[in-house]
Amino acid sequence: MNRESVRILFLHEMRMLARDRRTVILAIVLPLLVMPLMLYVVRSIERQRARSLKETTFRYALSGAEAGTVRRLIAARRAPGLRLEELPVTDAEAALRARRIHFHVRALSAGEAAALEEAEGEVSRRRPREAPAAPGEEAARPAGVPLVEIRFQGDREESRAGAAAMKEYLLEAARSERDRLLRERGWAMDPADLFRLERRSVAGAAQAAGSQIGKFLTLFFVMFLLSGGSVAALDSVAGEKERGSLETLLTTAARRSEIVAAKQLAILCVALAILLVNVANILAYVNFKLIELPADWEIAIGPAAPAVMVALLIPVGVFLSAVLLSLSAYARSYKEAQLYFFPVYLVSLVPAVAAVLPGVSLRSAIVLVPLANVSVAVREVLAGRFDWPMIALAAAVMVLAARGTMRLSTRMLSDERLITAADLDAAAWARGPALFSRHVFAWYAVMAAVLFAAAVNFPQLHSFRTQLLFNELVLFLGGSFLMIWKYRLPVRDALALRRPRAAVWPAVVAAVPAGHLAAAGVFRLADLVVPVPQRLLEQFGRELMPADVPAWQLYLFVALLPGICEEIAFRGPLLYGLRRRFRPATLVLVVGAIFGVFHIALFRLIPTAFLGMVLTALALLTGSIFPGMLLHAGNNAYAYWLARRNIPVSEWSWGWYAAGAAVFAACLYAIYRARTPYPGLHRVDAPRK
């Protein structure tokens, strides 16, 4: 590599970027001007809101047989700063809806409460008096206990705030009343003096603060670097392709590797500059008290920590800038690169949150996972724990990953299909299926973005049924048929609606339990890399198998729908669109990985990607979507059946997994023997003479 060429190209890139108004405004001016302004406005609004709530006299109505008791409690204990006014109303609910009162306190006797719960069908929620509520569980009313219910309008700020204040107020009043009763019945001491409870960390304040910062430092570094670097990266290759200047550059004496090195250096510099601007911005806010730190905040970083962090984070910067450059080189236009950016951004954040996961130690297989290893290592370093061999290993893995990604971006800049695609093939003119092959990644990127955005922004989709119905029917099935319609894809080919040989079916049936065992083994192996907290698994199990949904519905939602809709989405248009872009082995990896990414949660990524790869291989071997549907639905139904019977496959010995894998391999071999391959797969360019 000629250093002088790299220097010339780097200076050229920097000059081009500095003259791009879009870069300068988005990356430098906006954070400098908009962020302080936004913070100032948000703080002003918050102060005004707090003042307004403080000055509000909360009007409420009191009803029910126990109203007198509650009225006495309220009267006996006036909270400082809380202004309350009881309004006499005949219909409290109507008054609440008409906004004449802020909230309604319904004080019911035990009998009234039981009758109400009966009417509302909440009997199942009531627990026996002696059964304590589980930690984190909303305590249900024990039998024979009166119920005080504060009813408010959740869509009104004042109503919400008033109800919350009243709840705290009544809880405190109830505690005072309890203490008074204890004293009246002869409890000699003040209940508060039973014992004194204290928490004391043996780690110093600086260590605790370092650990807290360390959890998020790599994540923020990755976020800022990707968002800042993208400004330069997207313009750097995709923008050049669009303008036609890339071809001009490629006909100069500069090597591809020199061009890549210069562009990557420019991206890294811009990303780091933007990162510094943002860090300086945040420090300025802290200095001017726009951001307030906790009172006991203390940071003490030893002399080794900064050097170690630089050694860890620089390869991360190189790796991410190479990822961005590869993305930009892969896209055919600036717009296409923007489409790819969001999923790449999300996927890159997943390993960066490793430090936040409880119980993840650097002295585990995670040290071999790029980004995740640095995330954990930085947390350890900032907490003052220097495990030198593992830190060195993490840095080495990250350097290797950065080097590999740099090579990938160099190869992409040499790929004829990517640098001259516009006129090498007639897809853009032919439209239809040929154009779909070019757009297929963009479609699935948008689908992933919609899936993520919908899950985060629409609480209506948080229930078991609505979420599955939206994902399976609207997104996967609807999205697939939209692609088929838009690109006029032949339905039979795009969905692989072909009949496999009869011998395939018994092999698939046998593969269901065997594959499940093998997948459980893979999950155990993945657990060594990214240990999944038991709490998370239990929560996932509860979400996937809610107690109030009948078994037949669970089989429908968990097994049948995904078996059909997900196979159509991932072994339908996706596989059809990519079939000629990759060789079969790569195709299996790519489609499987995309399938895994759509399952969002980090701990599900590896097992679902594995399942996705198996299902893709099955589709390629049989040329049909149907065996995959059977295996997918069968696998999910079998998993549910095991869970209902509390059969803990995940705790079995490794021998079982090995046996499962062997049987599964035998099934795949049987399917291979009866194969009818997927038609029209990637063909290799004619060999050179």
424 or 585: CB nearest other proteins: 424
DSSP 8-class letter at 570:
H
Q: Check residue 416 for interaction with other proteins (CB under 8 A).
A: yes
Q: Check residue 156 for interaction with other proteins (CB under 8 A).
A: no
Given 426, 503, 658, 665, the residue binding other proteins (CB under 8 A): 426
66 or 242: CB nearest other proteins: 242
Give me the least distance between CB of 234 and other proteins, in Å please. Answer: 15
Q: Rounded CA gap, 663 and 651, in Å? A: 19
Q: Check residue 3 for interaction with other proteins (CB under 8 A).
A: no
138 or 685: CB nearest other proteins: 685
23 or 480: CB nearest other proteins: 23
433 or 546: CB nearest other proteins: 433
**Per-residue x/- marks for other proteins, 531-570, CB under 8 A?**
----------------------------------------
Give me the least distance between CB of 630 and other proteins, in Å please. Answer: 31
Give me the least distance between CB of 428 and other proteins, in Å please. Answer: 10
Q: Check residue 424 for interaction with other proteins (CB under 8 A).
A: yes
524 or 580: CB nearest other proteins: 580
User: Hey, what long-range contacts does 6-11 have (CB within 8 A, 24 or more apart)?
Assistant: 6/258, 6/261, 6/262, 6/265, 7/262, 8/262, 9/254, 9/258, 9/259, 9/261, 9/262, 9/263, 10/262, 10/265, 10/266
Using the Cα atoms of residue 425, residue 428, residue 431 and residue 437 in order, give the sign of their dihedral.
Answer: positive
**Per-residue x/- marks for other proteins, 579-598, CB under 8 A?**
-x------------------
Give me the least distance between CB of 625 and other proteins, in Å please. Answer: 22
430 or 528: CB nearest other proteins: 430
8 or 670: CB nearest other proteins: 8
Q: Strands 147-152 and 103-108, how do they pair?
A: antiparallel
Number of residues that bind other proteins (CB under 8 A): 41
Given 182, 365, 427, 666, the residue binding other proteins (CB under 8 A): 427
Given 51, 54, 243, 462, the residue binding other proteins (CB under 8 A): 243
Element (H, E) at 84: strand 83-86
Give me the least distance between CB of 245 and other proteins, in Å please. Answer: 5
**Cβ neighbours of 325 (radius 10 Å):** 29
Q: Check residue 689 for interaction with other proteins (CB under 8 A).
A: yes
64 or 572: CB nearest other proteins: 572
Do you know the residue count of the chain? 689
Q: Strands 83-86 and 147-152, how do they pair?
A: unpaired
Give me the least distance between CB of 576 and other proteins, in Å please. Answer: 12
Q: Check residue 482 for interaction with other proteins (CB under 8 A).
A: no
DSSP conformation letters of 199-251: ---SS-HHHHHHHHHHHHHHHHHHHHHHHHHHHHHIIIIIIHHHHTHHHHHHT
Q: Check residue 245 for interaction with other proteins (CB under 8 A).
A: yes
Give me the least distance between CB of 411 and other proteins, in Å please. Answer: 13
Given 433, 478, 513, 531, the residue binding other proteins (CB under 8 A): 433
Tokens 């949150």 -> residue? 353
Element (H, E) at 61: strand 57-63
Q: Strands 57-63 and 83-86, how do they pair?
A: parallel
7 or 180: CB nearest other proteins: 7
- Measure the CA angle with vertex 375, ends 369 and 378; round to 5°: 130
> With CB under 8 A as the contact rule, which of the stretches 69-77, 173-181, 244-252, 505-513 interacts with other proteins?
244-252
Residues 497/567, Cβ–Cβ less than 8 Å: no
15 or 51: CB nearest other proteins: 15
DSSP 8-class letter at 127:
B
Q: Check residue 486 for interaction with other proteins (CB under 8 A).
A: no
| Residue 107, phi then psi, degrees to nearest 5 | -100, 100
> With CB under 8 A as the contact rule, which of the stretches 328-336, 394-402, 421-429, 532-540 interacts with other proteins?
421-429
- Measure the CA angle with vertex 45, ends 41 and 50; round to 5°: 150
Residues 51-110 contacting other proteins, CB under 8 A = none
Residues 4-43 contacting other proteins, CB under 8 A = 5, 8-9, 12, 15-16, 19-20
Q: Rounded CA gap, 258 and 153, in Å? A: 63
> With CB under 8 A as the contact rule, which of the stretches 147-155, 277-285, 418-426, 642-650 interacts with other proteins?
418-426
How far is residue 559 from each of residues 358, 454, 474, 567, measured CA to CA in Å? 31, 22, 17, 12
Element (H, E) at 147: strand 147-152
259 or 268: CB nearest other proteins: 259
Task: Give 194's contacts (C-beta < 8 A, 6+ positions apart).
Answer: none
319 or 441: CB nearest other proteins: 441
For the chain, the 3-state helix, strand and coil shares in percent, each to the nearest 5, are 70, 5, 25
Element (H, E) at 378: helix 372-382
Give me the least distance between CB of 446 and other proteins, in Å please. Answer: 21
Give me the least distance between CB of 248 and other proteins, in Å please. Answer: 4
Q: How far is CA 128 from the centre of its chain?
A: 39
Q: Rounded CA gap, 83 and 314, in Å? A: 56
Q: Check residue 434 for interaction with other proteins (CB under 8 A).
A: yes
Q: Rounded CA gap, 194 and 519, in Å? A: 53
Bridge partner residues of 490 (DSSP): none
Q: Return residues touching other proteins (CB under 8 A).
A: 5, 8-9, 12, 15-16, 19-20, 243-245, 247-248, 250-255, 416-417, 419-420, 423-427, 430, 432-434, 437-438, 580, 683, 685-689
